[in-house]
Amino acid sequence: MNEPFDAPHVIATKRDRKRLSDEQIDWVIDAYTRHVVAPEQMSALAMAILLNGMDHDEIARWTHAMIASGERMDFSGLSRPTADKHSTGGVGDKITLPLAPLVAACGVAVPQLSGRGLGHTGGTLDKLESIPGWNASLSIDAMMAQLDDVGAVICAAGSGLAPADKKLYALRDVTGTVEAIPLIASSIMSKKIAEGTDALVLDVKVGSGAFMKSETDARELAETMVVLGTDAGVNTVALLTDMSTPLGRTAGNAIEVAESVEVLAGGGPSDVVELTLALAREMLAAAGKPDVDPADALADGRAMDVWRRMIAAQGGDPDAALPEGRESHVVTASSGGTLTRLDAFGVGVAAWRLGAGRARPGEDVQAGAGVVLHAKPGDAVAAGAPLMTLHTDEPARFERAMEALDGAFDVEPGGPGGDHVAGSIVLDRIG
Ligand code: URA
């Protein structure tokens, strides 16, 4: 085929800090998907974008070129409006599990296409696969039928949705180019726009356990994604939320499912409940139901009913015992006082090294592996009291997990109070 551009020239344009034209962007994404642009050429271009950025129009065109690389879904035949949520990834972030059935219980359908763990951050599908029998892969017809009947689906994205992003994401993962805001924004939004939801709520994490460590970067990412979504006709808002310490009291797979079920039963840690309700309110408002209070559906068991039906519809047994790690190790406080810091990144890496995440693509994860926290920042701890319990099937993993926790928490003399008292988890709203 006679190609209208050549890759070295497109790379040099961005290397020299110039704008890529619409035609260059359309071509490079399409040619990369057709294997005409080689991986080494695309990685050079991704690095030039990371270093020199893209303006708003370039990012929008890049996003649309990735959408055009695959199919688009259409939920307009459903009897209810749809709303989706996307988190940029964190430690102990199990919010999708209680949130999807909760929002469905309030009359809005939730088509949640989810992913697997990436690095130290957990993946929703890995967590749900710890439920015996549960199946992540659904055909589009099965997904539509479940959305109509149950109102909520959490499943793997099919390979036809934004295939250019799948290829580019895998390349960025191994070329040090994940952290480019234009590339993260276009990657996330190409999948969400192609999915065809009416409304989208973005949970943009900030802090040591997130991709964005600073609030300035997180805000820029959130603003970029909100503009991309809004311009594409998706009612989009973003919450900036704290990820300096893990969410809830568990980081792993089965242990996070158990904690989510506690929330659906009306209990659970206050930060998980707070964020679940904040995101549910945003999703309901964005889908045209601002007056519905999701707290009622959590308290009266309607969200739990939808959870049970959602799990059963995908082959899972909501009453089955969840797997537990065969071995455990308790980390204790060497002195008494107040836990003033518990670092999300350290806990995330420990859970990952215990077997909750994978070191190579495609590896199996351990359903029972992870970290259970017995104290959160602001809690009083006595000398010798348990701070956390590590779980795994392979005791040889404890040593490397303990290394990740070295320096990851502080216990200071004195009682609880002052600066250590946790503030609101929601830092800001954009949209
Ligand atoms: N999640 C995505 O889907 N893409 C990114 O680039 C980063 C996080």
The pLDDT tens digits of the residues spanning 340-382 come to: 999 999 999 999 999 999 877 678 899 999 999 999 999 999 9
φ, ψ at 148 (rounded to 5°): -70, -40
Q: How far is the CA of 6 from the centre of ligand 1 (A)?
A: 27
In a domain, 74, yes or no: no
Active site residue 114: no
Considering the domain architecture, whether residues 286 and 337 belong to the same structural domain is answered as no
Considering the domain architecture, whether residues 22 and 151 belong to the same structural domain is answered as no
Considering the domain architecture, whether residues 37 and 88 belong to the same structural domain is answered as no
Q: How far is the CA of 173 from the centre of ligand 1 (A)?
A: 10
Lowest mean pLDDT among 13-17, 175-179, 389-393: 175-179
Question: What percentage of residues in the chain have a pLDDT greater than 90?
Answer: 88
| Ligand 1 atom at minimum distance from 191 CA | 3
Question: What is the per-residue pLDDT across 273-321, written as a single tens digit (0 to 9) for each?
Answer: 999 999 999 999 999 999 999 999 999 999 999 999 999 999 999 999 9
Considering the domain architecture, whether residues 340 and 309 belong to the same structural domain is answered as no
In a domain, 69, yes or no: no
User: What are 312's two structure tokens?
Assistant: 């059963």
Active site residue 187: yes
CATH number for the domain spanning 112: value is 3.40.1030.10
The secondary structure of 4-32 as a DSSP string is: SS-HHHHHHHHHTTPPPPHHHHHHHHHHH
Give the residue from 180, 5, 196, 162 showing the smallest Cα distance to 82: 196
Considering the domain architecture, whether residues 203 and 303 belong to the same structural domain is answered as yes
Considering the domain architecture, whether residues 174 and 297 belong to the same structural domain is answered as yes
Considering the domain architecture, whether residues 294 and 347 belong to the same structural domain is answered as no
Residue nearest to atom 6 of ligand 1 (CA): 184
- pTM of this structure: 0.94
In a domain, 37, yes or no: yes
Marked catalytic residue, from 64, 127, 167, 172: 172
Active site residue 191: yes
Considering the domain architecture, whether residues 340 and 358 belong to the same structural domain is answered as yes
Lowest mean pLDDT among 39-43, 170-174, 383-387: 170-174
pLDDT at residue 283 in the model:
98
Tell me how far apart the alpha carbons of residues 268 and 260 are, in angstroms, rounded to a whole number. Answer: 7
In a domain, 430, yes or no: no
Are 26 and 57 contacting, i.e. CB atoms less than 8 angstroms apart? no
Q: Which residues make Cβ contacts (< 8 Å) with residue 359, sequence separation at least 6? A: none
The pLDDT of 229-252, averaged and rounded, is: 97
pLDDT, mean over the chain: 94
In a domain, 105, yes or no: yes
Active site residue 192: no
In a domain, 65, yes or no: no
Considering the domain architecture, whether residues 402 and 312 belong to the same structural domain is answered as no
User: What are 103's two structure tokens?
Assistant: 């929002």
CATH number for the domain spanning 412: value is 3.90.1170.30
Instruction: Inform me whether the pLDDT recorded for 421 exceeds 70.
Output: no
Band (430; pLDDT cuts 50, 70, 90)? very high
Domain end point (choices 320, 343, 367):
320
pLDDT at residue 157 in the model:
85
Distances (CA, A) of 277 to 52, 175, 281, 306, 402: 39, 38, 6, 16, 34
Considering the domain architecture, whether residues 116 and 258 belong to the same structural domain is answered as yes
The pLDDT of 119-126, averaged and rounded, is: 82
Considering the domain architecture, whether residues 87 and 162 belong to the same structural domain is answered as yes
Tell me which residues have their CB closer than 6 angstroms to ligand 1.
88, 169, 178, 183-184, 187-188
User: Domains in the chain: how many in total?
Assistant: 3
In a domain, 142, yes or no: yes
Considering the domain architecture, whether residues 313 and 346 belong to the same structural domain is answered as no
Partners of 337 in beta bridges: 381
Range of the domain at 15: 7-53
